[in-house]
Amino acid sequence: MPAKTTAVIVGAGHRAIVYASYAKSQPDALEIVGVADPSLLRREQMAQMFDLRADRCFETAEALASVPRFADFAINGTMDHQHVPTSLPLLEAGYHLLLEKPFAVNEEEMWQLVRTARQHERKVAICHVLRYAPFYAAIRQRVIEGTIGDILNVQAAEHVSYHHMAVGFVRGKWNRKDYCGSSMLMAKSCHDLDLITWMKSGVRPQRVASFGSNFQFRAENAPPGAGTRCLVDCPIEADCLYSAAKHYIDHPDRWAFYVWDSLEHLANPTIEDKLESLKTSPYGRCVWKTDMDVVDHQSVLIDFEDGCTATLNMIGGAAKPSRTIHLIGTRGEIRGCLEDSRFSILRPDTRPGCETAEEVIDLNVMGDMVGAGGGHAGGDMRLVADFIKLLNGEPRSISSTVLEDSVSGHLIGFCADRAVAEGRVVEVDLSRLA
């Protein structure tokens, strides 16, 4: 058996804690041995959760990197704009990285990280957890096997629910690019861009066009009489679909790790504490009267070097969250919905009286080894397990993502945002990968 792998947490937010929790369920495989976070409260929480020594709790990634390396890798779950600045000193100090997506907020920063990882020969895996969801992994396996021939078109869509849109991209900390560093496309749907390039693995994207805007969440669209804060000055709050009370009080566990961050010093905040918080926190604002400057929908069109085309439609404010994918190949099609954990394989059927043969792959009935339990449709813990195997010298899995793999999807996103801003088709430059 390989020796236990050790990790440090950098940025003790929700995503990093999710990945670090693998050490709780698989203590023989992973041990968390340190933390770096500017919040004293979060450092103390991590020290208690993982029984950390006081001398292994740091305020910054730089402080962590300044002492001799004492773990195999770092789980970097900082905010988007902090990913590269916190990762560079860790790479230089010898840590491998499990790095949250998007791993950079612009192209120059992205290439800087690639260059540093190569220079120090460090393994960097980007947390494209949907590659590990059994739904997408099973589809990718069929593509590798040539089930539908050569892919000539990919159609992907992400429908972001109304409550997810509101908490993350209207009221929350991804609602302004000058704060989080990322556009909505990159913060929310770089998963989907990665899936598209993964399905076309080995074929480079060459051109991108895109259109998008904030269609809904503007002041002129506010209902008549709407106030500025749901629980302070809004007479129509009781009838509003975006009432903060309906979203966060009536559904107390929904997005709790974001909405109640101002109350994390309280062990058991009361309803009264939460109501009072919503009177002043960003999450109590009227969704039509915030300072958001990101899109609420965007469409991306990609041209690959082999002539394949692909589209991604990201729509925020949908009644139901969903991710769908449709691959059309020279010998058939694959289409399905992640939330259903089921996809269909369609093939031409030339028999008399027939047109199409359909095979349905239902992952819900295939047991725990295939089924879609856990975060991100089963992807979160599989990602961590796979990265540990990679560090222990095992061969890359079908889903393994290394830094270079993630460059194409990120570049498509950066080019798409430039295409929206400049109203033109943008060339994808991958020359620095050579």
- Set out the domains of the chain in order of their start, with CATH numbers: 5-126 (3.40.50.720), 130-217+292-374+402-433 (3.30.360.10), 220-284 (no CATH)
pLDDT of residue 380: 87
Assess whether pLDDT exceeds 70 at residue 315: yes
Query: Residues 235-290: pLDDT tens digits?
Result: 999 999 999 999 999 998 899 989 998 998 888 999 999 999 999 999 999 999 99
Band of residue 369 on the pLDDT scale cut at 50, 70, 90:
very low
Assess whether pLDDT exceeds 70 at residue 30: yes
pLDDT of residue 373: 40
Query: Residues 15-26: pLDDT tens digits?
Result: 999 999 999 999
pLDDT of residue 377: 58
Mean of pLDDT values over 388-392: 95
pLDDT of residue 336: 98
Query: Residues 192-243: pLDDT tens digits?
Result: 999 999 999 999 999 999 999 999 999 999 999 999 999 999 999 999 999 9
pLDDT of residue 1: 55
Mean pLDDT (the chain) is: 94
Global pTM reads: 0.93
Assess whether pLDDT exceeds 70 at residue 370: no
Assess whether pLDDT exceeds 60 at residue 143: yes
Assess whether pLDDT exceeds 90 at residue 41: yes
Query: Residues 163-197: pLDDT tens digits?
Result: 999 999 999 999 999 999 999 999 999 999 999 99
Query: Residues 334-366: pLDDT tens digits?
Result: 999 999 999 999 999 888 888 889 999 999 875
Query: Residues 53-63: pLDDT tens digits?
Result: 999 999 999 99
Band of residue 35 on the pLDDT scale cut at 50, 70, 90:
very high
Written in H, E and C, the secondary structure of the chain is CCCCEEEEEECCCHHHHHHHCHHHHCCCCEEEEEEECCCHHHHHHHHHHHCCCHHHEECCHHHHHCCCCCCCEEEECCCHHHHHHHHHHHHHCCCEEEECCCCCCCHHHHHHHHHHHHHCCCCEEECCHHHHCHHHHHHHHHHHCCCCCCEEEEEEEEEEEHHHHHHHHHCCCCCCHHHHCCCHHHHHHHHHHHHHHHHCCCCCEEEEEEEEECCCCCHHHCCCCCCCECCCCCCCHHHCCCCHHHHHHCCCCCCHHHHCHHHCCCCCCCHHHHHHHHCCCHHHECCCCCCCCCCCEEEEEEEECCCCEEEEEEEEEECCCEEEEEEEECCCEEEEEHHHCEEEEEEECCCCCCCEEEEEEEHHHCCCCCCCCCHHHHHHHHHHHHHHHHHCCCCCCCCCCCHHHHHHHHHHHHHHHHHHHHCCCEECCCHHHC
